[in-house]
Copies of this chain bind each other. A is one copy, B any other.
Amino acid sequence: MNGHMNGHTSGTKLANGALSPYDDQHAVNEIRKFVIDICRQNGGGHGGSAIGMAPLAVALWRHTMRYNPSNPNWFDRDRFVLSNGHAAMLLYAMLHITGYKDMTVDEIKMYADAKAVDKTTGKWKSTICHGHPEREVPGVEVTTGPLGQGIANAVGLAIASKHYAATFNKEDHQLVASRIYCTTGDGCIQEGVALEAMAIAGRLGLSNLTLCYDNNDVTCDGPLNWIVTEDTNAKVRAMGWHVIDVFDGDTSVENIIAALEAAKLEKDRPTFINIRTTIGYGTTTAGTFKSHHGTYSDDDAAKHLAPGVTSTHQLSQNALEYFRSTVEEGKKWEDNWNLKLEIYSIAYPKEAKLFKERMEGKKDFERTLTSLSIPSELQPTRQFNGTVFNELISMVPNIIAGGADLWNSNQMGDQSTRILDSLHPEGRVIRYGIREHAMASISNGLAAYSPGGILPITATFFMFYLYAAPGVRMGALSNLQVIHVATHDSIGEGQNGQTHQPVELDSLYRAMPNLLYIRPADAEEVLGAWLTALGAKETPSIISLARDPAVTAIPKTSRLQVQRGGYVILEKENATVTLISCGSELQFAYPAAQRLDSEGIPTRVVSMPCMKLFERQPQEYQAGSAKIPEASIPVSIVLDSVLSNSPHIISVEAYVASMWARFCTASIAMDSFGYSGLGRENFARFGIDDDGIVSKVKRHIGETNGKKRRHWTLLK
């Protein structure tokens, strides 16, 4: 066994030394009954798979996993991921029954928040028992729900654990030994993101990962064979996994435990345990899709009642005693581990210092970024970004980066950092393969392992962050710091053509809560983008970069000002026009402004690399009435109006303009997909180079002369 104090057969030694007749099957029954209670709170709620997985839950929480309910964040705990997140109530039940103090019966009664207004105060209550588990809740490792994400997260957690172990463990000091347990239903393993992640897990030989498949042959709509007839075991085996069958998963906790133990013995491959279960086992709708999101009858509840358990949400004292030995066990585990760390610290003081810094999430990047100098020749932002990235990865041990087979095109690689693979889990560059979605979702797992300990960085073309979008979103929603390096943005992407030119993808990411989409215009702003992204400790960022060289040097850009989202780079008294731009287009807007000015149209220029940061600035800074001083003044001092009172405020960007309207009176933008031409020529083709800007602005001013337009306009 694995250090749990009690065996897994009938008869249990209680804390007081007496033998209890209470055993695993009693525990399974009570958990099932408890789940039915939760379902009956408000007429439904995904109880079927929770009931079916109860034996697995007992096997995991009572007999297999190492964790400390008193400190859900104990560093070396085993991690549990409920990829089939709709079975959340099972996780809540197990956290409660094993003694996580925040998970009270009162909270569980709020599951999915049926009665959200407090009757006495009239105020909105919030529960930690969300419809799907969220990682802010103690004991929940990652936020799951959208199917497939959890499996990819678990792969990330497993990579993280292997990486820590390979980096810090010594022959005689096994400091990091955490294993990752993940459950999946029939849903997750149909999803592309999970299939991508499982392929990666197989290739990396993640032997510390056990994926438990709740194989109940039923999905939301009906029997599984309506949609899946393939040989799942063979498919998973072909991906390099160790596959174990459990045929009596409804009743045999023992066989599940045996499989979990066998998984621990496997040294080269991740393990997939195919557990045959019955959805809603023992209820009137058992084995049917009606059990997936159904209600349960009094009879259903009664069938699973443990002796002495009668009322709703009641667990027997036996049950609590049976599981809450884990509270003491968990404390001992952590105490022992702390002792291990002390001994390690004496033997390896240097490594121990680094390890503790990682545990605390410390990282020092400011020095690198504030000291880096700008190249003298013009470079594409993706190229200088590569320089910055390579400096950072050499200075910041927390970084684990990786790309989706465009590492060379992304210009990320200087080849000096070791690749992370099955032989070298201490490596820090992951070759994700052509699996963008899994790359993003695995990165969430890396970031979630121990906050700040690992800073995941991903890279691919910006267009392919549409493939990755559900993963990026889950990172934003889960407050995970991941930095996504997106090269080849806008129509400057060039010859690959419209299929590769993300003219509207910025709209998704600029609208997404808790995500920073940062689009620097030049090398100086690339440094600002990294300063910003690295400083955002609970927020993912996308740094959006251009394929092609800048053709103009842009004066007055500032790495410090980037952190304010938008700032003036060319000021002008009594300006008629303010041009706002970012990315490659700023190199066109700047000379366009100078030309307009020379033709008698006073024009100022704002660089706005990040709308979301700009909107966080004080109103006076955004659009006050005061004049704005030169841009080079430190961030802490300047507090004036970026969006001046010029009659025309016009955005310039080779994307669909939707996101700009709130700042502008008009926009120069795309309103179609792009074109397969050279990058530089594409800007000219669509009238978004300096010639195009000058002529569109002049025409617009002519047309609106005297008339004040009320509504925003797209300039053609």
| Interface hits, A173-225 → B, CB 8 Å | 186-188, 190-196, 199, 202-203, 219-221
Contact of A227 (CB < 8 Å), options: B143, B434, B469, B497? B434
Question: Does A306 interact with chain B (Cβ within 8 Å)?
Answer: no
Q: Distance in Å from the Cβ of A708 to the closest Cβ of chain B?
A: 11
Docked-complex contact A676 and B113, CB < 8 angstroms: yes
Q: B residues within 8 A CB of A221?
A: 403, 405-408, 431
Docked-complex contact B496 and A435, CB < 8 angstroms: no
Contact with B along A665-700 (1 / 0, CB 8 A): 000001111011110010001000000000000000
Give the docked Cα–Cα distance between A661 and B494 (Å): 30
Question: Does A119 interact with chain B (Cβ within 8 Å)?
Answer: no
Q: B residues within 8 A CB of A145?
A: 496-497, 499-500
Docked-complex contact B658 and A659, CB < 8 angstroms: yes
Q: B residues within 8 A CB of A116?
A: 677-678, 681, 685
Give the docked Cα–Cα distance between A96 and B659 (Å): 43
Contact of A658 (CB < 8 Å), options: B219, B230, B658? B658
Q: Distance in Å from the Cβ of A35 to the closest Cβ of chain B?
A: 16
Give the docked Cα–Cα distance between A194 and B437 (Å): 13
Question: Does A470 interact with chain B (Cβ within 8 Å)?
Answer: yes
Question: Does A643 interact with chain B (Cβ within 8 Å)?
Answer: yes
Give the docked Cα–Cα distance between A609 and B190 (Å): 34
Question: Does A474 interact with chain B (Cβ within 8 Å)?
Answer: yes
Give the docked Cα–Cα distance between A85 and B463 (Å): 15
Docked-complex contact A434 and B202, CB < 8 angstroms: no
Contact of A238 (CB < 8 Å), options: B230, B432, B675? B230
Docked-complex contact A504 and B512, CB < 8 angstroms: yes
Q: B residues within 8 A CB of A195?
A: 192, 195-196
Stretch at the interface among A11-19, A123-131, A275-283, A377-385: A123-131
Contact with B along A224-259 (1 / 0, CB 8 A): 001111111011011110000000000000000000
A144, closest chain B residue (CB): B499
Q: B residues within 8 A CB of A237?
A: 234
Q: B residues within 8 A CB of A71?
A: none
Docked-complex contact B403 and A496, CB < 8 angstroms: no
Question: Does A510 interact with chain B (Cβ within 8 Å)?
Answer: yes
Contact of A497 (CB < 8 Å), options: B134, B470, B676? B134
Docked-complex contact A467 and B132, CB < 8 angstroms: no
Q: Distance in Å from the Cβ of A427 to the closest Cβ of chain B?
A: 12
Q: B residues within 8 A CB of A144?
A: 499
Q: B residues within 8 A CB of A147?
A: 434
Question: Does A438 interact with chain B (Cβ within 8 Å)?
Answer: yes
Give the docked Cα–Cα distance between A500 and B116 (Å): 19
Q: A199-B230, A230-B199, A469-B466 are in contact. Are A497 and B192 (CB under 8 A)?
A: no
Give the docked Cα–Cα distance between A228 and B238 (Å): 11
Q: Distance in Å from the Cβ of A62 to the closest Cβ of chain B?
A: 28
The size of the chain A interface, using a CB distance under 8 A, is 114
Contact with B along A505-517 (1 / 0, CB 8 A): 1011011111000
Give the docked Cα–Cα distance between A191 and B513 (Å): 27
Question: Does A409 interact with chain B (Cβ within 8 Å)?
Answer: yes
Docked-complex contact B469 and A511, CB < 8 angstroms: no
Contact of A132 (CB < 8 Å), options: B474, B496, B671, B710? B496
Docked-complex contact A477 and B504, CB < 8 angstroms: no
Q: B residues within 8 A CB of A113?
A: 495, 675-678, 681
Docked-complex contact A464 and B229, CB < 8 angstroms: no
Question: Does A451 interact with chain B (Cβ within 8 Å)?
Answer: no
Q: A496-B131, A504-B512, A681-B116 are in contact. Are A675 and B126 (CB under 8 A)?
A: yes
Q: Distance in Å from the Cβ of A68 to the closest Cβ of chain B?
A: 27
Give the docked Cα–Cα distance between A441 and B45 (Å): 31
Give the docked Cα–Cα distance between A226 and B703 (Å): 59
Q: Distance in Å from the Cβ of A691 to the closest Cβ of chain B?
A: 12
Contact of A467 (CB < 8 Å), options: B186, B230, B470, B507? B470
Question: Does A169 interact with chain B (Cβ within 8 Å)?
Answer: no
Give the docked Cα–Cα distance between A661 and B615 (Å): 14
Q: A145-B497, A192-B437, A676-B112 are in contact. Are A711 and B477 (CB under 8 A)?
A: no
Q: B residues within 8 A CB of A496?
A: 86, 131-132, 145
| Interface hits, A145-193 → B, CB 8 Å | 145-147, 186-188, 190-193
Question: Does A265 interact with chain B (Cβ within 8 Å)?
Answer: no
Docked-complex contact A191 and B435, CB < 8 angstroms: yes
Q: Distance in Å from the Cβ of A302 to the closest Cβ of chain B?
A: 26
Contact of A192 (CB < 8 Å), options: B86, B143, B193, B676? B193
Contact of A203 (CB < 8 Å), options: B199, B230, B675? B230
Q: Residues on A close to B: CB < 8 A?
A: 45, 85-86, 112-114, 116-117, 124, 126-127, 130-132, 134, 143-147, 186-188, 190-196, 199, 202-203, 219-221, 226-232, 234-235, 237-240, 289, 403, 405-409, 419, 431-435, 437-438, 463-464, 466-467, 469-470, 473-474, 476-477, 494-500, 503-505, 507-508, 510-514, 622-623, 643, 645, 656, 658-659, 661-663, 670-673, 675-678, 681, 685, 710-712
Cβ contacts A to B, 16 pairs, < 8 Å = A113-B676, A113-B681, A126-B675, A130-B497, A132-B676, A134-B498, A145-B500, A146-B467, A191-B435, A227-B432, A230-B240, A469-B469, A507-B508, A511-B656, A513-B671, A643-B710
| 4 A-B pairs with the lowest CB-CB distances in the bound complex, closest first | A192-B192, A145-B499, A227-B433, A661-B662
> With A228-B433, A507-B659, A508-B511 given, can you name 10 additional A-B contacts, CB distance below 8 Å?
A112-B677, A116-B685, A126-B675, A146-B464, A192-B195, A192-B438, A202-B229, A474-B499, A514-B673, A663-B711
